[in-house]
Amino acid sequence: MAKTKSNQPRADFLNKRTLPDDVYTPEEFTEEHRMIAKTAYQFVEKEVDLHREAIEHQDFDQVVSLLRKAGQLGLLGHSIPEEYGGLGLDKISKCIVGEIIGKTSSYGVAHSNHTCIATLPITHFGTQEQKSKYLPKLASGEYIGAYCLTEPNAGSDALASQTTAVLNKEGTHYLLNGTKLYITNAVFSDTFIVYAKINGEQFSAFIVERDFPGLSLGPEEKKMGIKGSSTRSVIFEDCMVPVENLLGEAGKGHVIALNVLNLGRFNLGSACTGGAKHGFRLALQHTDERKQFGRTISKFTATQEKVARMMARIYASESLQYRTASLLEEAMKGLYEETNHTIVRDQMMEYAVECAICKVFGSETLDEVVDESLQLHGGAGFIQEYQIEQMYRDSRINRIFEGTNEVNRLLIIGTLLKKAIKGDIPLEELVEKATRDLTERNHAPMNEESAIQSIRNVFLFCVGKAFEKHGERLMDHQETVMKLSTIAITLFAAESAVLRAVKHESELKTMLARTVLEEALLTVESSSRMLLMSILSNEEKQQAVRLVFNEISMYDFGSSMERNRQIAHFSYKKQKYDV
Which amino acids are annotated catalytic? 402
Rounded CA-CA distance 373/282 in Å is 7
Nearest one of 553, 533, 551, 554 to 465, comparing CA atoms: 533
CB 292 within 8 A of CB 303: no
Asked if residue 445 has a cis previous peptide bond (ω within 30° of 0), the answer is: yes
Strand partners, 217: 234
CA distance to 241, 263, 339, 419, per residue, from 351 (Å) = 34, 9, 20, 14
Nearest one of 9, 23, 15 to 347, comparing CA atoms: 9
DSSP state of 44: I
Rounded CA-CA distance 56/58 in Å is 5
Task: Name the amino acid, one letter, at 253.
Answer: G
CB 93 within 8 A of CB 332: no
The tally of CA atoms less than 13 A away on the side-chain side of residue 460 is 27
CB neighbour list of residue 115: distance below 8 Å, 6 or more residues apart: 75, 76, 78, 79, 94, 97, 98, 267
Nearest one of 18, 11, 10 to 503, comparing CA atoms: 18
Q: What length does the chain have?
A: 579
Asked if residue 213 has a cis previous peptide bond (ω within 30° of 0), the answer is: no
Q: What are the DSSP E strand ranges found in 210-343?
A: 215-217, 231-242, 246-247, 291-292, 295-296
Nearest one of 116, 55, 121 to 91, comparing CA atoms: 116
Strand partners, 330: none
CB neighbour list of residue 202: distance below 8 Å, 6 or more residues apart: 250, 251, 253
Rounded CA-CA distance 485/492 in Å is 11
CB 189 within 8 A of CB 146: yes
Strand partners, 147: 193
The tally of CA atoms less than 13 A away on the side-chain side of residue 397 is 22
Rounded CA-CA distance 186/4 in Å is 37
CB 269 within 8 A of CB 532: no
CB 346 within 8 A of CB 4: yes
- The number of helix segments (H) and strand segments (E) in the chain equals 19, 10
